[in-house]
Amino acid sequence: MEIADALVQMGKYIGAGIAMGIGAIGPGIGQGNIGSRAMEAMARQPEMVGTLTTRMLLAMAVAESTGLYSLVIAFMILLVA
Amino acid sequence: MKLNLTRNEKLFLSVFGIVYAALIVYVIISGYEFDLEGVGIRWIYQLPFGEGPLSRINPMTVFMTWGIMALIIIVAMSFRRFELLPGKRQTLMETLLGYMLELTEDAVPRKRFIKPTFVIACTLFIFILIANIITAFPGLNTTVTEDGMKLTLFQDTWYSPTSDLNTNATYAVMVLVISHVFAIKAKGFSTWIRSFFQPHWLMLPMNVISEIAKPISHSLRLFGNIMGGGLLVLIISYLIKYFVMPPFLWGFFGLFIGAIQALVFSMLAIAYIGSLLE
């Protein structure tokens, strides 16, 4: 393999790793906030656990989406040309 | 903790365990080699006419979309007669649709548009739910190798149309167009145009960009979840051969994440349509 190809390959792997790693920070913080607040609410009002759990999962799924963009970008870097 | 199982459950669990163990033994004895070749590459058919991206189709997406539509139609045919005392299936459907109707009534402020919004969101929900749930079961899929394309049966889960961005982008753009058509119908053309110049005409580019960003985030959310889930299952199974249960991972990514994402997609569709009607 020529040195240029090797450099391109190296750049792809490093770029995909950085994209996924940094992109996972935001959703992590967001999901942590959602989870902690939902736990507080559940402790305060245990009779609301059912509705709170579904709302919490929905909010988590929405907060996750920015992380998924970085996942898509990482796959694009790795797989698409 | 003591488990209380009925006789049928014990029978089911033991049959499931025996089949699973037999499959693992069969896979090890037959020397089936799993490699990551062709993962993430789709079977693409080049049409004989035209050129560019619009002349290529994904045949598996088309097949599976029509298959799921046929399944939904067959199931819907059996609901023709509604009974006063609902049975199990009718109760399930009534609970599901009633929940969606409540969500729609909360989000859509104009009474005239509650029913169309509800119908659109429910159709999207049912289709996407079934499309996501079939990724939890082994079935027909395609792999691309160096020799060409080959169909595989029961080596991977069913191919889901929602793991193709074309499907998701179609629905997202459809929701955007429908929401603007409803807004024009409800508020009149001049009010609709004026809503882009709120609160000041300097904000016009911002408003246009926020409208364009809606379908992008809407479609990429579903696509990333389903496609990324499938790839993650493949990669985890590749790393830990035969020890991690793929059914467990398929169940998590297919049933759990799939159901939540279907609900999120339809709820966001309701929210987008409702937010423009205010």
The whole-angstrom separation of Cα B174 and Cα B127 is: 15
**H-state helical runs in chain B:** 7-30, 59-77, 88-107, 114-133, 165-187, 189-194, 204-239, 246-250, 258-276
Contact state of A71 with B224 under an 8 Å Cβ cutoff: yes
Residue B162 lies in a domain: yes
**Residue B184: per-residue pLDDT:** 93
The whole-angstrom separation of Cα B135 and Cα B152 is: 14
- Mean pLDDT, chain B, as a whole number? 85
**Residue B56: per-residue pLDDT:** 84
Contact state of B225 with A79 under an 8 Å Cβ cutoff: no
* A64/chain B closest Cα distance in angstroms: 8
Nearest chain B alpha carbon to A57? B260
- Residue pair B259/B132 in contact (Cβ under 8 Å)? The answer is yes
Convert the pLDDT of each residue in B120-158 to its tens digit: 999 999 999 999 998 888 778 777 777 777 777 766 778
Is the pLDDT confidence value at B34 over 90? no
Residue B135 lies in a domain: yes
The whole-angstrom separation of Cα B243 and Cα B137 is: 19
CA distances from B39 to B43, B165, B185, B258 (A): 11, 16, 46, 21
Residue B3 lies in a domain: no
pTM, entire model: 0.84
Domain membership of residue B147 as a residue range: 10-276
Contact state of B224 with A72 under an 8 Å Cβ cutoff: yes
Lowest mean pLDDT among A21-30, B10-19, B181-190, B232-241: B232-241
b (16+ CB within 10 A) / e for B27-42: eeeeeeeeeeeebeeb
Residue indicated by tokens 């967001």: A30
Nearest chain B alpha carbon to A53? B260
Q: How confident is the model at residue B79 (pLDDT cuts 50, 70, 90)?
A: confident
Token digits of residue B273: 């349509």
Residues of B in contact with A68 (CB under 8 A): 220-221, 224-225, 228
Closest alpha carbon to B41 in B139, B135, B163: B163
Token digits of residue B240: 């830990």
> Which of A31, A54, A68, A78 to mutate to probe the B interface, most B CBs <10 Å?
A68
Neighbours of B179 (CB within 10 A): 23
Residue B222 lies in a domain: yes
Q: Is the ipTM of this complex over 0.85?
A: no
Q: How confident is the model at residue A69 (pLDDT cuts 50, 70, 90)?
A: confident
SS3 state of residue B87: coil
Does B225 lie at the interface with A, CB-CB under 8 angstroms?
yes
CA distances from B157 to A8, A57, B139 (A): 33, 25, 5
Does A43 lie at the interface with B, CB-CB under 8 angstroms?
no
Is the pLDDT confidence value at B83 over 60? yes
Does A71 lie at the interface with B, CB-CB under 8 angstroms?
yes
Convert the pLDDT of each residue in B195-245 to its tens digit: 888 788 888 999 999 999 899 988 999 998 888 888 888 877 777 665 556
The whole-angstrom separation of Cα B277 and Cα B109 is: 7
Contact state of B41 with A61 under an 8 Å Cβ cutoff: no
Closest alpha carbon to A31 in A12, A56, A53, A52: A56
Lowest mean pLDDT among B65-74, B134-143, B250-259: B134-143
Residue B1 lies in a domain: no
Residue type, B275: S
Residue indicated by tokens 């082994």: B138
Does A76 lie at the interface with B, CB-CB under 8 angstroms?
no
Is the pLDDT confidence value at B193 over 80? yes
Neighbours of A33 (CB within 10 A): 12
- In percent, the amount of chain B with pLDDT more than 90 equals 25
Token digits of residue A23: 């992109």
Q: How confident is the model at residue A44 (pLDDT cuts 50, 70, 90)?
A: very high
**Residue B182: per-residue pLDDT:** 93
Residues of A in contact with B217 (CB under 8 A): 65
**Residue A40: per-residue pLDDT:** 94
**How far separated are the first and last CA of chain B, in Å rounded?**
53
Does A65 lie at the interface with B, CB-CB under 8 angstroms?
yes
Residues of A in contact with B227 (CB under 8 A): 72, 75
Q: Which helix (H) or strand (E) holds B113?
A: none
- Averaged over B26-38, what is the pLDDT? 69
The domain tally of chain B equals 1
Residue B140 lies in a domain: yes
φ, ψ for residue B149 (rounded to 5)?
Answer: -105, 140
**Residue B244: per-residue pLDDT:** 55
Task: Name all domains of chain A by residue range, CATH numbers in brackets.
Answer: 3-79 (1.20.20.10)
Residue B163 lies in a domain: yes
Token digits of residue B239: 């790393």
The whole-angstrom separation of Cα B52 and Cα B29 is: 46
- Residue pair B40/B164 in contact (Cβ under 8 Å)? The answer is no
